[in-house]
Amino acid sequence: MSTQQHLIAPSVLAADFANLQRDIEMVNNSEADWFHIDIMDGVFVPNISFGFPVMSAIAKHAKKPMDVHLMIVDPDRYLKICKDNGADIITVHYEACTHLHRTLAAIKELGCKAGVALNPHTPVSLLKDVIQDIDLVCLMSVNPGFGGQKFIERTYSKIKELRALAIENGTDVLIEIDGGVGLSNAGKLLAAGADVLVAGSFVFTAENPTQTIQELKAVDPSVQSV
């Protein structure tokens, strides 16, 4: 488990797209650490969110790192444009990359941190031969494509398996959890070894999103049972 304080990454997918600048400023002025940016193509996932022009508009106002989650097939085609539009971390899906090792190298070549996302059905063990090349692993705790879905409980054991795999290979990765995260499971996720919590609907549908971010940031894993 990481000894550093955990990070909170509000997912802009759940923001009010007609008041995007307002919601970005809310995140800027909150205790959030990153912006989580969900890009979907309607092919890899059964939904389309927004693309690079919107991401670029977000980047103009965002004062925190942009953590970009590419839910698209053949993401290699879009790595450079992603970087050029403000990405600091680029996460691709294991299931969408035929040559994952090459894709990770290309992301790093651009000067970004390289992330790999795993769908709920994809075992952590498949990362064994590439774990040393990864900066962040995003464990999907819902099937990607939509906000507001129910958290999949199996995620806790995947976090522990992933941490063990990283330690076995003498490397460190940030473990990010994406989907169905809120105050009811944040402590248990952190106690299991998560470093970054993505939260979309839990933050943006809250009466006071700034305070909700603060509450997520203040969660103390040591008082939770695993």
Catalytically active residues, by annotation: 38, 178
Alpha-carbon gap, residue 65 to 79, rounded angstroms: 16
Alpha-carbon gap, residue 10 to 134, rounded angstroms: 22
Give the closest residue to 152 by CA, choosing from 163, 136, 140: 140
Q: Per-residue contact track with ligand DX5, 75 to 114, x per CB under 6 A?
A: ----------------------------------------
- Give 192 or 198: the residue with its C-beta nearer to Zn ion: 198
Please state the separation of Cα 197 from the chain's center in Å: 7
Q: Per-residue contact track with ligand DX5, 131 to 170, x per CB under 6 A?
A: -----------x-xxxxxx---------------------
> Sheet containing 66-71: which strands, arranged edge to edge?
7-10, 196-199, 174-178, 136-140, 113-118, 89-93, 66-71, 35-40
Under the binding rule (CB under 6 A), the answer on residue 15 touching ligand DX5 is no
- Give 68 or 166: the residue with its C-beta nearer to ligand DX5: 68
Piece of 19-27, 165-173, 196-204, 215-223 that binds ligand DX5 (CB under 6 A): 196-204
- Select from 75, 180, 193, 209 the one that contacts ligand DX5 (CB under 6 A): 180
Under the binding rule (CB under 5 A), the answer on residue 38 touching Zn ion is yes
Q: What backbone torsions phi and psi does residue 172 show, to the nearest 5 degrees?
A: -125, 135
Under the binding rule (CB under 6 A), the answer on residue 36 touching ligand DX5 is yes
Paired tokens of 81: 């444009």
Please report, as ranges, the residues that interact with Zn ion according to CB under 5 A: 38, 69, 178
